């Protein structure tokens, strides 16, 4: 799957336009470029000034909103929607998502997480944004409620971030 994500990314770059106003446009949609240093600073500030529970809820919701926006581009459902959305998020720089989804749930692996690499601070050990993304995608794809729990995280020294998805 990683090779196909790389091929899709190369295709994405070919379709990229940069009008004179400095925006990046792909397939008529504006592309946001994440400044990871700014994101990391925001996470550090939030972790130091709010409880982890509060930050976790906020970041999970943000991840869900990002995924719901992504879902709008696809006219599929079920396993195909999960795979398409995760692939699209991979291409857009969130890391490489690998999943074999089904209605009962399954596992999702995230390699090279753009955010979790910056979570190696004392208060943040869960990739809440990815949890929100995965939850929203599964719930929309299968029209059902899911619980997503991260069981491995690179912020804890693991090689990848791994999420267990369970149907409720």
β-partners of residue 122 are none
The model's confidence at residue 165, banded by pLDDT at 50, 70 and 90, is very high
Q: What are phi and psi of 75, to 5 degrees?
A: -110, 25
Q: How far apart are CA 167 and CA 78, in angstroms?
A: 13
The Cα angle at residue 57 between residues 56 and 63, in degrees rounded to 5: 85
CATH number at residue 75: 3.30.1380.20
pTM over 0.85: no
Q: How many domains, the chain?
A: 1
Does the structure show a pLDDT above 60 at 34?
no
Q: How far apart are CA 10 and CA 7, in angstroms?
A: 5
Query: Tokens in use for 98?
Result: 């690998």
pLDDT tens, residue by residue, 90-127: 888 888 999 999 999 999 999 887 776 665 554 456 78
The model's confidence at residue 40, banded by pLDDT at 50, 70 and 90, is low
Spatial CA neighbour of 6 closest among 80, 109, 111: 111
Q: By residue range, what is the domain housing residue 83?
A: 2-167
β-partners of residue 161 are 110
Average pLDDT, the chain: 79
């Amino acid at each position: 799957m990683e090779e196909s994500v790389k091929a899709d990314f190369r295709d994405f770059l070919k379709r990229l336009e940069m009008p004179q106003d400095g925006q990046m446009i792909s397939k008529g949609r504006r592309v946001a470029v994440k400044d990871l240093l700014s994101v990391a600073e925001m996470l550090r500030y939030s972790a130091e000034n709010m409880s982890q529970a509060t930050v976790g809820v906020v970041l999970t919701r943000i991840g869900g909103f990002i995924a719901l926006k992504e879902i709008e581009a696809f006219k599929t459902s079920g396993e195909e929607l999960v795979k398409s959305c995760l692939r699209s998020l991979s291409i857009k720089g969130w890391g490489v998502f690998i999943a074999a989804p089904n209605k009962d749930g399954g596992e999702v692996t995230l390699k090279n997480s753009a955010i979790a690499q910056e979570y190696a601070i004392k208060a943040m050990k869960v990739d809440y944004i990815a949890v929100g993304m995965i939850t929203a995608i599964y719930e929309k794809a299968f029209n059902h409620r899911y619980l997503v729990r991260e069981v491995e995280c690179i912020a804890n020294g693991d090689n990848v971030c791994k999420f267990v998805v369970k149907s409720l």
